[in-house]
Amino acid sequence: MELVKQMKKKRKNRYRESKLSIFSFICALLTLAYFNIFLMTLDGIDILTNLFLQILPTIGILTALLSFTRVNHKKTFAYWSLALYLFIVICIVVVGFFELSIYPKP
């Protein structure tokens, strides 16, 4: 009898990841991959640049914020996706700062 009670307690504590947070994490990984390719080659296709650096991060951030409203779901992937988006923003700021300091315009 006690074993059955322990099994039920273990099942109640197991939460699944939210599908929105997983989708947000995938969007963040795709955005980070395209951003790295864009910085290495410095040659981007306009349609893909708009998709991967504007539309996909917007959708990813919105789905991450929506996944925080889900009850009884883990939010680990949502935290990771927001951290990746913050990392991308910090990289853009740092690259822009170095570009302006190395190549000053008259």
Under 8 Å between Cβ of 83 and 65? no
pLDDT tens digit string along 38-76? 888 877 667 788 888 899 999 999 999 999 998 889 999
Q: What is the pLDDT of residue 44?
A: 66
Q: What is the pLDDT of residue 46?
A: 75
Q: What is the pLDDT of residue 94?
A: 94
The two tokens of residue 17 are 């990841």
**Minimal CA–CA distance to 77: which of 52, 60, 57, 58?**
60
Is pLDDT at 4 greater than 70 in this prediction? no
Query: How does residue 12 score in pLDDT terms, banded at 50, 70 and 90?
Result: low
Q: Which helix (H) or strand (E) holds 43?
A: none
* Mean pLDDT across 23-48: 87
